[in-house]
Amino acid sequence: MATRKVVKIGESSLRKKSKPVKDFDEDLWQLLDDMKETMHENDGMGLAAPQVGVLRRAVVVEVNNAFYELINPEIIKTKGEDIEKEGCLSVGGFRGRVKRPMTVTVKAYDRFGYPFTLTGEKWLARCICHEVDHLDGIIFVDKTLDKDEYLKNGGVL
Ligand code: NI
């Protein structure tokens, strides 16, 4: 395992739409292992492949000591609403409130290509939404209720 450099907001690759993972091979496993290590190194709750410069639909999340790898994730059901402050390893120190579903069900594949569904509540739901957004080039500062504050303090989109 190795840590990889985290791409920062303002770099164009972070705004691109990632492509589905097709090969569930050693390159993918290496990527996932590196993403986990990079997330831990930076005290993150999640990381998406485009944040380490790989435009493929793979994310890792870790909430309450439970670690998940989601390949080609697709949110199939949401319920309720929740507002909490979020941050992002690509955005530096800013944290802002974002409205997210309280419950999210996601369909995804594991690293071996087996499909599964996962239902998460509260922070897990939030984390899944945040990371899946990254795969479509969306960053939480686009959605934050505190966007004025972010921009006023020199934040870029
Ligand atoms: Ni993020």
Tokens 């994730």 belong to: 73
Confidence of residue 1 (pLDDT cuts 50, 70, 90): confident
- Separation of 140 CA from ligand 1 center, angstroms? 7
- Give the per-residue pLDDT at 47: 98
Mean pLDDT of 54-64: 98
The pLDDT > 70 percentage for the chain reads 100
Confidence (pTM): 0.97
For 84-126, the pLDDT digits (tens) are 999 999 998 999 999 999 999 999 999 999 999 999 999 999 9
Best CATH choice for the domain 12-152 from the list 3.90.45.10, 3.40.50.720, 2.40.70.10, 3.90.1150.10: 3.90.45.10
Q: Where are the domains of the chain?
A: 12-152
- Separation of 14 CA from ligand 1 center, angstroms? 10
Is 69 designated active site? no
